[in-house]
Amino acid sequence: MYLEHLSGEPVDHKVHMVEQRPAFITKEKRIVQSFLVMCSIMAALPYFLYSASRFMHETRSGIKSLIRVYGVSSNIIRLSHLLDTFIFSILYSVLVTIVLKVSRDIPILPYSNAFLMALHTTLHLMCVSGLAFVLSAVTQDARHADSVVLLTYVLTFLLNTWWFSVLDNLSWKVLILSSFIPHAPIFLFWDEITFLEGKGVGLRFKNLFYEPIQGHVAVFLAWTFLIIQFFILYLLTWYLDYVMPGKYGIPLKWNFCFEKNFWKTTKIVRKKRKKKRTVNFHVTAEKPTGRKDNRFFEVDPIDSEVAIKISQVTKVQGFG
């Protein structure tokens, strides 16, 4: 109607309204977005280094292999690490949420849901722990493994900083593939959070699937990238645990997961004997010959008993 009023002629063209970020939000909130990304990645760095050093110590010292000797399977060991990380992630997320939501004046994120913020922080730290295990397994035999792990963590952050700067020029397929780089979903998440906070809405359950701008991703899609990244890292953790078991461990072939014997379980059937058979050994004294000097060999008594008996021994070869 407004265009018809200005031109004095009827307008038949359809007008598509595309929501754009207001200029004052982009300039003011961009600093907040960069600050939140930096704090999220750097705050998880101490736990990342602690997890990597702990995993490398378990592998190098052979503690993990010795635990397996006592009958604890590799799946139980990985599950214990996962539960340990999950409990610490919950405590860490609660602390971070308090910092973001509680303040005397104005909170950093006053409109977003506290539970959703804590959920995101938990997912992020779980992925950081998985990355620590993968890097510690790959660099366990390196001379400066700790420095290599730290350098890799920092380089992935710098790579994602450049990636986020050219995000608007990437195609949709390249965006999806590059979102599986470590820390990449963090940039996407905080970019949408700062936009929603600038609108005075914040992150809520009702706008998890909301896509504010064409070419950007919704919060739920950023979380999807983070969850898929989590499963990929722990799948690599499972694989490297067999290929690179560390000290006292027996490494398997790189293609062990494609062999039928690995997935096939062998059932041991024990045959019951009707009557227990006992074997008695009688040792008789041997007369010394010319080749054997009796001064250096003690003659065995005639009534001596067997010191060690081995009965019904079974050897089972399996994967743990």
For the cut 80, the answer to whether the pLDDT of residue 146 exceeds it is yes
- What is the predicted pLDDT for the residue at 51? 92
Q: Are 91 and 180 in contact (CB under 8 A)?
A: no
Query: pLDDT at position 127, please?
Result: 93
Model confidence at 161: pLDDT above 60 = yes
Residue 21 predicted with pLDDT over 50: no
For residues 18 and 214, the answer to whether their CB atoms sit within 8 Å is yes
Give the DSSP letter of residue 300. Answer: P
Q: What pLDDT score was predicted for residue 50?
A: 92
Q: Which element (helix H / strand E) includes 130?
A: helix 114-138
For the record, the structure tokens of 227 come out as: 């969850």
Q: For the chain, what is the mean pLDDT? A: 80
How much is the average pLDDT of 153-163? 92
Gap between the Cα atoms of 169 and 55, Å rounded: 39
Kindly state the DSSP code that residue 214 receives in the 8-state scheme: T
pLDDT (0 to 100) of residue 88: 94
Output the pLDDT for position 114: 93
Comparing 134-138, 181-185, 244-248, 252-256, which segment has the lowest mean pLDDT? Answer: 244-248
pTM here is 0.72
Q: What is the dihedral of CA 167, 171, 173, 176, to 10 degrees?
A: 10
Instruction: Calculate the alpha carbon distances from 310 to 69, 304, 307, 314, 316 in Å.
Output: 21, 18, 10, 11, 17
Highest mean pLDDT among 66-75, 179-188, 270-279: 179-188
Tell me what the mean pLDDT of segment 127-137 comes to: 90
Residue 47 is predicted with a pLDDT of 94
pLDDT at 291: 56
Query: For residue 127, what are the CA distances in angstroms to 38, 52, 77, 167, 239?
Result: 16, 13, 18, 22, 17
pLDDT in tens, 261-297: 888 766 666 666 565 555 554 545 455 455 556 666 7
The beta-carbon contacts of 275-279 under 8 Å, at least 24 apart in sequence, are 279/309
Does residue 113 carry a pLDDT above 60?
Answer: yes
CA angle 56, 62, 63 (to 5 degrees): 85
Is residue 78 helix, strand or coil? helix
DSSP codes of every residue in the chain: -HHHHHHSS---S---------HHHHHHHHHHHHHHHHHHHHHTHHHHHHHHHHHHHHHHHTHHHHHHHTT--HHHHHHHHHHHHHHHHHHHHHHHHHHHH--SS--SSSSS-HHHHHHHHHHHHHHHHHHHHHHHHHTTTSTTHHHHHHHHHHHHHHHHHHHHHTGGGS-HHHHHHHTTSTTHHHHHHHHHHHHHHHTT--S-GGGTT---STTS--HHHHHHHHHHHHHHHHHHHHHHHHH---TT--PPPTTGGG-HHHHPPPPP-PPPPSS---------PPPP-SSS-TTTSPPPPTT---S----S--------
Q: Is the pLDDT of residue 319 over 80?
A: no
Whether the predicted pLDDT of 187 surpasses 70: yes
Lowest mean pLDDT among 72-76, 190-194, 200-204, 293-297: 293-297
Compute the distance between CA of residue 226 and CA of residue 186 in angstroms, rounded to an integer: 8
Residue 154 confidence (pLDDT) above 90: yes
**What is the pLDDT at residue 278?**
54
Instruction: Name the CA radius of gyration of the chain, rounded.
Output: 32
| Local confidence band at 251 (pLDDT 50, 70, 90 cut-offs) | confident
Mean pLDDT of 54-62: 84
Using the predicted structure, report yes or no on whether residue 48 has a pLDDT greater than 60. yes
| pLDDT band of 73, cuts 50, 70, 90 | confident
- pLDDT at residue 33, rounded to an integer: 84
Amino acid 91: pLDDT: 95
